[in-house]
Structure 1
């Protein structure tokens, strides 16, 4: 149950018409526990037996659940009351909730006769609650004004001025209300101005609302708004972190005198606080000692020395005006509040989707974005004003996703001292964070696009200074400016980048990168592995066979050639090469995997199991968990061919590969295939669906495509041709950008069979022939007659 006292007097959810009983309940709710005799004398001062009257009313209160709590000579109420809820919300800073409770004057429309003391209590409580509601509305209005929402602020101020049951606004409220109403020229502003001037109050012009709303900084703004008289708040932050914007927001909330640091003459900064230029410190000092004054000073370091000294002296006394000071430096003296501004957080910008991602929360860029101004234009003016070495350092940092400070210093040609000072300068200017991270680097890169030749030169300097795969993107961007001496460095960087791509499972991107270096023998083996990864087996073999006889004899080239041969179905040649590899290094593991592949092609399951196990053991020695688990999946596949139960055989590798989605996905595909091969196809479907989830999580495009093809084959064989076609088409889409012609041709040929399109079928086979997939073409022609035959599965590699 809930007692309603604002604008009415009733109990929610029931009809209770005893007005005096409810009045007694309202009194207990808002005043707390009371002595029985005190209540009797207050409510029935003229009754012959006040205690008896009270007792009769308490009988009625007992009929309302939770309304009455009795403790000997004292009584209280346990019922929820809207007026109490309002006051609790104000105490907790929930001003919007408090305002929502106020439906009208307290106990408005009460008709029962009241004694003089009770009547006085009623009017005092009514005015107090109305005034508290007005205060809550003024707080909400100042917050709206601070954030640049002038219309909302004026509307709230108008509501505050006209709160039912409230007394006229006083000398503290009138200037605030006038300030808020003046933001939009509200009609009530003139009325408030007349009332204020009749009281002799001085009204200051309201700041012009900003063109864009002020976002974020709610917590600092709340702290500053409630700064006590005599207290000092110091706001620190690098350039562009929003110190001035916070001061302007504070000014819009009303009641603050905003000063801007200037050093033209003694006391020039504090001069606006007095009616005439002061000739001595005492003239300003008396103003600063006024506890009603609230002063915000922007830029301490630009303030004249006399004003600074006087502010320090006043601050030490901790009496007088509330002071807020902004500075790039830490406090020059003891303060009560120290706020350090940094970039805004995603939560600060939650009402503006996508804004944090564009700006990284940099306040200057946030303001520009809210104005619709291109970020490169906003940053461009600041960057162009930097000295050339500092500007180039900033741009080189922006060109790197994760700035390498050591390499950047080498690229700039600076010594350690000069570079450290440059970084400090960029941080102080708010252009970079500590550690060299550039805020919203994309905007800086957009700026560089306007000077493409200079951008390429900076890329080249970085490429020469960086090491490892990180150098390649910069070499690539600066290709037009390469000198002869850059060719070898670029090739090394490309090779390292390709190795990184292969390790992370992007053979298509690695192949595309190394296609541009097809004339370099030092990249041939790596290029071949990338080509193998995308199914361009014939090209990989041709790349290796283009090497000189001496290069072909290296272990790395021999193993890569053997892998290409086994993928092309030339098992005997592959075995001949792989059998020559000895030792216990990574190449030995790859050679064992080739021997296992050849055994699978021949149907020699025990040999396949044995060689895959050898490969797995070698990879374990080298700590390559993913490669080991991949081989163990093939061990399990061979064991099933030898008569093992699929679920039991694959259990360990599937369990161990949890958390390694690329390996687990491949293992699941193999598991599904053996289930199909031994006639348990119905059990394979959920396994392949799980494989799709794992491979998608891993970003394994080839694995995803192969699984989609195999699911298509299942539906194809079941006669569910529409679903089969959908899986084949998904495979085709997934294969885009991978360069894997083998899988693409397989999907297209199976799809064309469903469509009955002979021309498309032949085009698919021509595509495969052009890629050197002669074995696959022969298999398709042998096993598939258009419209009559079985579609072919994609085999995991």
Structure 2
């Protein structure tokens, strides 16, 4: 059943004309289930018996099968679709063009029956609300048309938004936007909007979404981007407010460019703007339009894109799809680009023709634009901060040092009570320096200025570190280390532990090791530090870190299983197994102990035992709810199944399917799958799998995994006799290992490389490095497999 409320009030396909009955149904559709008494009082406020009136109208409503559902004192709409509700849904879903198509006229425009005051107010409020949503959709369509250079369409849509029946007069926010779009198209209604704006006392500038200010100071960069060839990728980076969006909008004004603002609240919403009339949950589908070499696209705010879109776009642009693409971001590019423009504050010479402007704004592009656009925001940020009372200025600086301000912690750092802090924040908001959330305008530039005053900046960081929760405190403790007092040591260690644990969970053991390096004298951090060292392959160091524990501390299951893990990775499987068998229970320690037993069995060549223990570890991780660790163990299960005779494709199918969306785990699984294929003589198929593994590991940023992949690929090329290619892959592995501290993989890469190059001295140096790191089993294995020999007289070394 389709209820029409826009421009009409009727049920589609049914000759039913009782307006009060249909109004009741419309109210239920829009507002949802309602108590009977509420409906009776709203619809029949002056009736002698409102409940009886409601009952009579419900009788009529029941003649429309399925229109209404009644349960006790509640009345709800039945299986009814309502055009106004559908319109609101498509607006929320970002489908602006469909919303404009659905709007058949003002909500309940043909209603001709008398209404009570409250019900009449609801009708008018809903009418305006629906119309305003449609106006917003039309404005979005108009702005998108203008960004594509379709000025006539932009003007038509803006005129439609301005004159939309049922909508209230355009307000002070909408008039500037409408004026810009209409003026851009040369539409005659632009003069009417200008008169209305002047009547309201508005000073019209350029609509902020399309052309906030006159473009100034980036002529060189604009020329570089305008001259980009088809199929090239440019990256524009810089802190917030440095003019990235203004540069992209200037491209759009120049013509031929589409500017896509990030839509973080809509999954895959940004690329969806590239296609018309179609919507897909697959971010790759709309991005396929980037294969058109005639398309020139600028994507504003890389960080604001949803994760799926970022991953799909990153994969697409690496292939240089055909379109000319510019991306604006606060960070440097995460992949190779053809042109990288780093934006900072505007230098004084750029503003030389406007005397005093640089002194007024410190060259901050957003504030420069505010001044040139005649906006009321005071541009003297630096001067205004210096003019604040000392306590208010300190509050500004503390907020500027936080990426996401914690108002409660800032209040504690200032030693203020709630009333004092509320008044201080209110001052900053009033002065145009901060939002009510505590986010400072031009915070990046302000933070840079604060950090230049080192001692003051360190003291501010220390105040924040003492006030923030441990999870957020470490970054500030790290920056204020020179000022720690005795009382800070314990809390800083706790904050470092929280940060290191978070980094380990996210797969960054190298960064976790760096955090914990300054706390080698803290026994409570020894186990966590050992796991970080194990994560980067520094197994002997992990063992030495655990040796600093007392006897009682060493007996703790967490310490025992960390020691067992270090031992098994060093090849001491018997000692590792003995320790692991002493760990019981069903928690994470038990899962890690089972994993140790699996790897020990693997070293001994006991494939079925290794498979069994790895499966136990996977089951225990499942109990703990740790899916990534579980999948890691299932990779070993699959490898052992291949050793026991299973086909690699069959053994690995399950773990590969379940690891979709987890690039680091999937990359590891693919790498082991490739090894299994090589072991059973399917080397050509393994090559393709290794390539896929490298893609996944690159996407995850897993440098250790990439090093393993390049090592395996190098071994494959070496076995084929393609020694130059193998050497190049080993060097690539060494490049990935730089700074990770993974001695085991570095030793493998160095020994293999020196073997290929016939460098006996380098080969022995690599083995000596491994011996010193305690990798005795690995050294023995390399010696067994090595083909490098001393040269005969007059002959060069050969592999």
CA distance, structure 2, for counterparts of residue 496 and residue 537 of structure 1: 22
Pick aligned residue for 1:771 from 770, 773, 779: 773
Match of 1:232 in 2: 199
TM-score, normalising length: structure 1: 0.56
Alignment partner of 2:632: what SS? helix
CA distance, structure 1, for counterparts of residue 726 and residue 203 of structure 2: 64
CA distance, structure 2, for counterparts of residue 97 and residue 546 of structure 1: 71
CA distance, structure 1, for counterparts of residue 183 and residue 395 of structure 2: 35
* Correspondence 1:521 to 2:518: no
Indicate conservation of the 8 Å contact 1:510/1:530, yes or no: yes
Matches within 5 A, 1:275-294: none
Alignment partner of 1:349: what SS? helix
Pick aligned residue for 1:707 from 706, 709, 721: 709
CA distance, structure 1, for counterparts of residue 146 and residue 607 of structure 2: 75
Match of 2:571 in 1: 569
Indicate conservation of the 8 Å contact 2:348/2:363, yes or no: yes
Match of 2:10 in 1: none
Indicate conservation of the 8 Å contact 1:555/1:587, yes or no: yes
> 772-781 or 409-418: which moved more?
772-781
CA distance, structure 2, for counterparts of residue 248 and residue 493 of structure 1: 47
Indicate conservation of the 8 Å contact 2:399/2:440, yes or no: yes
* Structure 1 residues 66-100: Cα deviation after superposition (integer angstroms, max 9, x where no partner): xxxxxxxxxxxxxxxxxxxxxxxxxx999x9999x
Match of 2:247 in 1: 349
Alignment partner of 1:514: what SS? helix
Pick aligned residue for 2:451 from 449, 452, 466: 449
> 221-230 or 692-701: which moved more?
221-230
CA distance, structure 1, for counterparts of residue 597 and residue 183 of structure 2: 71
In structure 2, relative to structure 1, the CA distance for the partners of 1:442 and 1:375 (3 Å cut) is farther
Indicate conservation of the 8 Å contact 2:571/2:775, yes or no: no
Task: Report the alpha carbon displacement of residue 226 of structure 1 after superposing the two structures with TM.
Answer: 5.8
CA distance, structure 1, for counterparts of residue 788 and residue 329 of structure 2: 55
Pick aligned residue for 1:625 from 608, 624, 627: 627
CA distance, structure 1, for counterparts of residue 761 and residue 678 of structure 2: 31
CA distance, structure 1, for counterparts of residue 492 and residue 350 of structure 2: 42
Task: Report the alpha carbon displacement of residue 719 of structure 1 after superposing the two structures with TM.
Answer: 0.8
Alignment partner of 2:435: what SS? coil
**Unmatched segments (≥5 aa) in structure 1:** 1-91, 100-215, 250-341, 790-797
**Unmatched segments (≥5 aa) in structure 2:** 1-144, 153-177, 216-239, 252-325, 332-342, 353-357, 365-378, 792-799
Match of 1:130 in 2: none
Indicate conservation of the 8 Å contact 2:615/2:633, yes or no: yes
CA distance, structure 2, for counterparts of residue 628 and residue 344 of structure 1: 45
* Correspondence 1:614 to 2:613: no
Pick aligned residue for 2:433 from 427, 431, 434: 431
CA distance, structure 2, for counterparts of residue 590 and residue 527 of structure 1: 16
CA distance, structure 2, for counterparts of residue 375 and residue 439 of structure 1: 14
Structure possessing the higher radius of gyration over alpha carbons: 1
Matches within 5 A, 1:717-728: 717-728=719-730
Alignment partner of 1:516: what SS? helix
* RMSD of aligned residue pairs (Cα, Å): 3.8
CA distance, structure 2, for counterparts of residue 718 and residue 646 of structure 1: 22
CA distance, structure 2, for counterparts of residue 658 and residue 756 of structure 1: 42
Matches within 5 A, 1:114-153: none
Match of 1:334 in 2: none
Match of 1:407 in 2: 409
Indicate conservation of the 8 Å contact 1:349/1:355, yes or no: no
In structure 2, relative to structure 1, the CA distance for the partners of 1:220 and 1:551 (3 Å cut) is farther
Indicate conservation of the 8 Å contact 1:379/1:443, yes or no: no
Task: Report the alpha carbon displacement of residue 581 of structure 1 after superposing the two structures with TM.
Answer: 0.8
Match of 1:70 in 2: none
Indicate conservation of the 8 Å contact 2:594/2:614, yes or no: yes
CA distance, structure 2, for counterparts of residue 673 and residue 248 of structure 1: 60
CA distance, structure 1, for counterparts of residue 558 and residue 521 of structure 2: 18
Pick aligned residue for 2:561 from 559, 562, 580: 559
Task: Report the alpha carbon displacement of residue 344 of structure 1 after superposing the two structures with TM.
Answer: 10
Matches within 5 A, 1:35-434: 227-229=193-195, 231-235=198-202, 347-350=245-248, 351=250, 357=330, 371=351, 379-434=381-436
Match of 1:192 in 2: none
Matches within 5 A, 1:573-588: 573-588=575-590
Alignment partner of 1:403: what SS? coil
**Aligned length, in residue pairs:** 485
Task: Report the alpha carbon displacement of residue 355 of structure 1 after superposing the two structures with TM.
Answer: 8.2
In structure 2, relative to structure 1, the CA distance for the partners of 1:544 and 1:233 (3 Å cut) is same
> 733-742 or 419-428: which moved more?
419-428
> 764-773 or 731-740: which moved more?
764-773
CA distance, structure 2, for counterparts of residue 689 and residue 587 of structure 1: 35
* Structure 1 residues 558-594: Cα deviation after superposition (integer angstroms, max 9, x where no partner): 0000000100111111111110111111111011101
In structure 2, relative to structure 1, the CA distance for the partners of 1:537 and 1:364 (3 Å cut) is closer
CA distance, structure 2, for counterparts of residue 220 and residue 573 of structure 1: 80
Indicate conservation of the 8 Å contact 1:375/1:443, yes or no: no
In structure 2, relative to structure 1, the CA distance for the partners of 1:640 and 1:386 (3 Å cut) is same
Indicate conservation of the 8 Å contact 1:705/1:731, yes or no: yes
Indicate conservation of the 8 Å contact 2:530/2:542, yes or no: yes
Indicate conservation of the 8 Å contact 2:179/2:193, yes or no: no
* Structure 1 residues 369-392: Cα deviation after superposition (integer angstroms, max 9, x where no partner): 964966589743332222222221
Task: Report the alpha carbon displacement of residue 682 of structure 1 after superposing the two structures with TM.
Answer: 1.9
In structure 2, relative to structure 1, the CA distance for the partners of 1:246 and 1:733 (3 Å cut) is closer
In structure 2, relative to structure 1, the CA distance for the partners of 1:780 and 1:788 (3 Å cut) is farther
Match of 2:731 in 1: 729
Indicate conservation of the 8 Å contact 2:717/2:723, yes or no: yes
Task: Report the alpha carbon displacement of residue 343 of structure 1 after superposing the two structures with TM.
Answer: 7.8
Match of 1:135 in 2: none
Match of 2:538 in 1: 536
Match of 1:476 in 2: 478
Alignment partner of 2:473: what SS? helix
Alignment partner of 2:247: what SS? coil
* Correspondence 1:745 to 2:747: yes
In structure 2, relative to structure 1, the CA distance for the partners of 1:711 and 1:364 (3 Å cut) is closer
* Correspondence 1:689 to 2:691: yes
Match of 1:458 in 2: 460
Task: Report the alpha carbon displacement of residue 348 of structure 1 after superposing the two structures with TM.
Answer: 4.1
CA distance, structure 1, for counterparts of residue 389 and residue 440 of structure 2: 17
CA distance, structure 2, for counterparts of residue 742 and residue 375 of structure 1: 51
Task: Report the alpha carbon displacement of residue 424 of structure 1 after superposing the two structures with TM.
Answer: 2.8
CA distance, structure 2, for counterparts of residue 674 and residue 571 of structure 1: 23
In structure 2, relative to structure 1, the CA distance for the partners of 1:344 and 1:424 (3 Å cut) is farther
Match of 1:120 in 2: none
CA distance, structure 2, for counterparts of residue 386 and residue 638 of structure 1: 69
In structure 2, relative to structure 1, the CA distance for the partners of 1:768 and 1:93 (3 Å cut) is closer
In structure 2, relative to structure 1, the CA distance for the partners of 1:443 and 1:544 (3 Å cut) is same
Task: Report the alpha carbon displacement of residue 523 of structure 1 after superposing the two structures with TM.
Answer: 0.4
Indicate conservation of the 8 Å contact 2:537/2:742, yes or no: yes
CA distance, structure 2, for counterparts of residue 98 and residue 627 of structure 1: 55
CA distance, structure 2, for counterparts of residue 781 and residue 745 of structure 1: 12
Match of 2:492 in 1: 490
In structure 2, relative to structure 1, the CA distance for the partners of 1:368 and 1:424 (3 Å cut) is farther
* Structure 1 residues 614-650: Cα deviation after superposition (integer angstroms, max 9, x where no partner): 1111111111111111111111111111111110111
